[in-house]
Amino acid sequence: MRVECRETRRSWHCLAMTDEFRREHWERGAEWPLTLLAVVFLLAYALPILRPGLAPALAQACELATWFAWAAFAVDYAVRLGLSRRRAGFVRTNLLDLAVVVLPLLRPLRLLRLVTLLSVLNRAMGGSLRGRVGVYVSGATALVLSVAGLAILDAERQSSEPNITSFGDALWWAATTVTTVGYGDRYPTTATGRFIAGGLMLAGIALLGIVTASFASWLLDKVREVEGESQAATRRDIEALTAEVRALREELAGLRLGSPS
Amino acid sequence: MRVECRETRRSWHCLAMTDEFRREHWERGAEWPLTLLAVVFLLAYALPILRPGLAPALAQACELATWFAWAAFAVDYAVRLGLSRRRAGFVRTNLLDLAVVVLPLLRPLRLLRLVTLLSVLNRAMGGSLRGRVGVYVSGATALVLSVAGLAILDAERQSSEPNITSFGDALWWAATTVTTVGYGDRYPTTATGRFIAGGLMLAGIALLGIVTASFASWLLDKVREVEGESQAATRRDIEALTAEVRALREELAGLRLGSPS
Amino acid sequence: MRVECRETRRSWHCLAMTDEFRREHWERGAEWPLTLLAVVFLLAYALPILRPGLAPALAQACELATWFAWAAFAVDYAVRLGLSRRRAGFVRTNLLDLAVVVLPLLRPLRLLRLVTLLSVLNRAMGGSLRGRVGVYVSGATALVLSVAGLAILDAERQSSEPNITSFGDALWWAATTVTTVGYGDRYPTTATGRFIAGGLMLAGIALLGIVTASFASWLLDKVREVEGESQAATRRDIEALTAEVRALREELAGLRLGSPS
Amino acid sequence: MRVECRETRRSWHCLAMTDEFRREHWERGAEWPLTLLAVVFLLAYALPILRPGLAPALAQACELATWFAWAAFAVDYAVRLGLSRRRAGFVRTNLLDLAVVVLPLLRPLRLLRLVTLLSVLNRAMGGSLRGRVGVYVSGATALVLSVAGLAILDAERQSSEPNITSFGDALWWAATTVTTVGYGDRYPTTATGRFIAGGLMLAGIALLGIVTASFASWLLDKVREVEGESQAATRRDIEALTAEVRALREELAGLRLGSPS
């Protein structure tokens, strides 16, 4: 983008370019610190849930760390919004980021930033499109399972007759929910827990859809190969025909030159 | 349609056109009043279910409102049937509307008219086909969940050993059913409740199918783009060839003119 | 087939044709009596299950009717096998019919012949391919649900701690199983019941697959329409080009005639 | 591969070929002994699980047999790795084989070698691609169900409040899990059991995806047929056009010869 701008030097367009470039520059610079912060947040979020009888000082430190992470995400959102030309468009395409900042109660959402870590794993693996989709789906499913497990464990602590009381139970419940198996040996009993379960069920439906679509895409690729060959053959035929007509025209030109003599 | 009719002025066809036009005119005029009535019906239907110990006068008013809504839907159906040319065809393509009128017990069906509200939301959003499908599917799922929740709560009140006793339980049960998770911590015990559950399961299977088909359609679009480009290239080749032949013919015409001299 | 045979009169091929024709003739003639017999069998099968305290004479009549139906199916299979040229091929493509005859314990399988009734319903409706698939899927699902309900009720009567004790319970259990919801409020406890459940689960997976494939086929049709138009345009272009070349050739023929003079 | 090598005789490429050929030779030779060993392993694995009160000597023999099978698989892996040119590539494409050797606790994985038996069944049946996919999916599902049943029964023996206590229960639980029905009348209570269940749920999602994709592939084949016909027609048109132009050119050549005279 910067290169294009230097080459054309059209002032108005270039100004917008520069702004977008600044935002992109900020986003690239902020990517890793924010991911690191998300890891810290994950620890500060998970620790009090997994160890309920934590020393008060440590519990307070964790509380502080989660609020610090929230503040950092809010600043990041504000800067990116400030650097955007079309602010309405920015807000509309970054609704999830807005939800993270505006609703501090939806804390687990902040962990979605950890998806960034998957891109590292991805680059290390290289490979085909389907392989990368596989990495993303597996990684995102694992992340969603652990975060949902933590969140449900936290929510069910408030229940009068809790059903999910350990992290193992919570993970097991999350797995039976996301695959839509739903044995019913573990299930949430609080309103918060049921909202988390609802989100996890939606994730499960999306997971089923993506797996099926991947199988279908593999089949479609096979079909496309065959069809591509057939179309290439048609085009080779047309090229041969064009060469034929061109030769005909040249012959005619020779005939014209020879005819007056 | 009106414009086409004025232009052609063929009397028979035009008469049918006029009738269809009148029906369309009625449907457009009745759309908003009936939707408003459906909202009123929703309130009059939900209130006695959510607040069982309602003042008798208010309960009677709600009862009256639901019967008034039924009468209005019946009148609307009768008028549309009367204005139709091919009545058998009208009945066959509007079976759901007929069910709403003929089976007053299937009251929740009347709320399906609220789907009209989605079209407003849709127009406000504009956007692509897939975005609009998303709006419809999300809106219809939310509507079906709430209506099924109300209906099951109403039905399970009659049960000797009720399992679903609050609207929160009812919504939670509806969510576990439509996603085919089915924990089994809540389930209907009456025959009416089981019929409602059966309808909800069918909705769940349709939901799964639509989500998967949307992913597949996205993949198909990608494929179509590539194929469309290949076909466009083939057509460009053919056009170049046609120009070549046309030039050849013109040259030949020139040759013909020059040859006798 | 008969017409083709009369036209060609090649003796060997024609002999095989005649045999195949005889088998087809038998199958057409036997279709309705066997379907009627399946209806009788359904009644004789359902009655002792739905009314356990049946008069001994009536129970015996029902028992007799089911054995008579089995004998009729066995005779039908034997005749069709006898009229087939390639017997190994006939056995391989009619495995289900063989199972019905060889395994008298799998009595409910005999009811699958009632699918014939769906073809009547189908002919009455006419309509598009998707509409007919819809009729078959709905009809087959309804048939499978009722037969599985009867069979599970019969099997669970043998259980020491029965869970499914009325036909309503049995139908409800079948619906939660075929949609893969599986609340777990009702479930089979005997080995026979679990085998029936396994078959019903397979039917459920097939149902999910067919519903999704139908949505996908609808999308594919939309895509095919667009692609078909594009291909038709290409072919129109080629036809125009051919006409152009033909005109050129005619002109050249005129030139040739004019040139020697 | 050997034939190509003899023909070209390029020393480096040929050396690599020879190595790959040796590995392939080893793999073909080892295929049947290892499959037989897997059958033995299946018996030695299943017997102590199905008969808990086994004579100590027999139990020890079974234990010995399972370790012998492990050693044989380890030797096979080492030989194949040693004969590979690109070892990193070999390790990456045979991760499952590595897991079998490195993690002796994942004993049931060794039974996956029994998939080889399916290829025999497959060759005996011959037939179309879809038929063979059907054989593999059915066979693999049956194998996975029995192995998961054995493994869960073994794992749940350690539980304080066991839920799955017989092989019938275990198979029934496996069937309800793989089809994502999940009644919840039987479910694992130990950590090991829950891991096995997680693997089975993944298998279930894959099963759903493959069944749907097979239906979709059948539909795609129908579409491809129609499109292939349309493309063939286009190509026939182009061939006719080319013949027309060739005839024109020949006529012109005749004109040229005639013109000077």
Q: Which two tokens stand for residue D113?
A: 């070698």
Residues of C in contact with B183 (CB under 8 A): 183
Chain B, chain C: beta-carbon pairs less than 8 Å apart: 107
Q: How sure is the predictor about A7, in pLDDT bands with cuts at 50, 70 and 90?
A: very low
Residue from A114, A108, A103 nearest A140 by CA: A114
Q: Do B68 and B43 contact (CB within 8 A), yes or no?
A: no
Range with lowest mean pLDDT among A86-95, B113-122, C239-248: B113-122
Residues of B in contact with A207 (CB under 8 A): none
Q: Among residues of chain A, what percentage have pLDDT more than 90?
A: 13
Q: Does D183 sit within 8 Å of B180, measured CB to CB? A: no
Q: Among residues of chain A, what percentage have pLDDT more than 70?
A: 72
Q: Does C180 sit within 8 Å of A184, measured CB to CB? A: no
Q: Do A155 and A190 contact (CB within 8 A), yes or no?
A: yes
Sign of the CA dihedral running D211, D212, D213, D216: positive
Report pLDDT for A224: 60
The domains found in chain C, sorted by start residue, are 1-109 (no CATH), 127-261 (1.10.287.70)
Report pLDDT for D8: 47
**Can you tell me the distance from the alpha carbon of A34 to that of C79, in angstroms, rounded to the nearest whole number?**
77
pLDDT at A202 over 80: yes
What subunits make at least 3 CB pairs under 8 angstroms with C? Answer: A, B, D
Indicate the residue of B182, B212, B240 with minimum beta-carbon distance to A213.
B212
Closest residue in chain B to residue C214, using alpha carbons only: B209
**Can you tell me the distance from the alpha carbon of D141 to that of D118, in angstroms, rounded to the nearest whole number?**
11
Count CB-CB contacts under 10 A for residue A242: 17
Q: Does B185 sit within 8 Å of A182, measured CB to CB? A: no
**Can you tell me the distance from the alpha carbon of D220 to that of B37, in angstroms, rounded to the nearest whole number?**
46
The residues near A183 (Cβ < 8 Å, ≥ 6 apart) are A176, B183, C184, D182, D183, D184, D187
**Can you tell me the distance from the alpha carbon of D179 to that of C199, in angstroms, rounded to the nearest whole number?**
11
**Can you tell me the distance from the alpha carbon of C131 to that of A135, in angstroms, rounded to the nearest whole number?**
40
Report pLDDT for C261: 40
Q: Answer yes or no: pTM beyond 0.80.
A: no
Q: Which two tokens stand for residue D228?
A: 């292939």
In which residue are the tokens 């391919």 written?
C129
Backbone angles phi, psi at D230, to 5 degrees: -60, -45
Estimate to the nearest angstrom the gap between the alpha carbon of D61 and the chain centroid.
Answer: 31
Give B120 to chain C, closest Cα distance, Å: 25
Closest residue in chain B to residue A206, using alpha carbons only: B211
Report pLDDT for A230: 67
Low-confidence ranges of chain D (pLDDT < 70): 1-19, 104-133, 217-231, 255-261
Closest residue in chain D to residue C218, using alpha carbons only: D219
Count CB-CB contacts under 10 A for residue C149: 24
**Can you tell me the distance from the alpha carbon of C109 to that of A80, in angstroms, rounded to the nearest whole number?**
66
The residues near D261 (Cβ < 8 Å, ≥ 6 apart) are none
What subunits make at least 3 CB pairs under 8 angstroms with A? Answer: B, C, D
pLDDT at B84 over 70: yes
Q: Do B56 and B78 contact (CB within 8 A), yes or no?
A: no
> Taking CA A34 as the corner, what is the angle to CA A33 and CA A35, rounded to the nearest 5 degrees?
90
Q: How sure is the predictor about A167, in pLDDT bands with cuts at 50, 70 and 90?
A: very high
Backbone angles phi, psi at B217, to 5 degrees: -65, -35
Range with lowest mean pLDDT among A66-70, A249-253, B25-29: A249-253
According to DSSP, residue C112 is labeled G
Count CB-CB contacts under 10 A for residue B184: 26
Best to test chain D binding among A128, A137, A179 (most D CBs inside 10 Å) = A179
> Which tens digit of pLDDT belongs to each residue from A102-158?
776 666 666 666 666 666 665 555 555 566 667 777 888 888 898 899 989 988 988
Q: Which two tokens stand for residue A122?
A: 């991805």
Q: Does A237 sit within 8 Å of D242, measured CB to CB? A: yes
Q: Does D180 sit within 8 Å of B184, measured CB to CB? A: no
Q: Is A126 exposed, middle or buried (0-12, 13-18, 19+ CB in 10 A)?
A: exposed
Q: Does C260 sit within 8 Å of D255, measured CB to CB? A: no
Backbone angles phi, psi at B185, to 5 degrees: -75, -25
* Burial state string for D142-173 with b = 16 or more CB within 10 A and e = fewer than 16: ebbbbbbbbbbbbbbeeeeebbbeebebbbbb
> Which tens digit of pLDDT belongs to each residue from B5-64?
444 445 555 555 666 778 888 888 887 888 888 888 888 888 888 988 888 899 899 888
Q: Does D182 sit within 8 Å of B182, measured CB to CB? A: yes
Range with lowest mean pLDDT among A209-223, A233-247, D58-72: A209-223
Closest residue in chain B to residue D249, using alpha carbons only: B248
Q: Do A20 and A1 contact (CB within 8 A), yes or no?
A: yes
Best to test chain C binding among B178, B196, B208 (most C CBs inside 10 Å) = B208
Residue type, B244: E
Please report the ipTM that was assigned to this predicted complex. Answer: 0.72
* Burial state string for A183-194 with b = 16 or more CB within 10 A and e = fewer than 16: bbbbbbbbebbb
Give C116 to chain A, closest Cα distance, Å: 33
Q: How sure is the predictor about A2, in pLDDT bands with cuts at 50, 70 and 90?
A: very low
Residue type, A9: R
Report pLDDT for B1: 39
Q: How sure is the predictor about A226, in pLDDT bands with cuts at 50, 70 and 90?
A: low
Report pLDDT for B112: 63
Backbone angles phi, psi at B186, to 5 degrees: -130, 135
Chain A, chain C: beta-carbon pairs less than 8 Å apart: 7
Report pLDDT for A153: 92
According to DSSP, residue A111 is labeled G
| Local mean pLDDT, 10-residue blocks, chain C (261 residues) | 45 60 82 82 87 88 86 86 82 76 68 64 57 75 88 89 90 93 91 90 85 71 63 75 77 64 40
Closest residue in chain C to residue B191, using alpha carbons only: C168
Q: Does A182 sit within 8 Å of C182, measured CB to CB? A: yes
Give C185 to chain D, closest Cα distance, Å: 8
Give B45 to chain D, closest Cα distance, Å: 34
Q: Is C50 left (phi over 0), alpha (psi -120 to 50) or beta?
A: alpha
Residues of B in contact with D216 (CB under 8 A): 216
According to DSSP, residue B128 is labeled -
pLDDT at A87 over 90: no
Give D167 to chain A, closest Cα distance, Å: 19
**Can you tell me the distance from the alpha carbon of D196 to that of D155, in angstroms, rounded to the nearest whole number?**
9
Residues of D in contact with C210 (CB under 8 A): 215
pLDDT at B154 over 70: yes
Tell me the range of A29-43, A227-241, D100-114 where mean pLDDT is highest.
Answer: A29-43
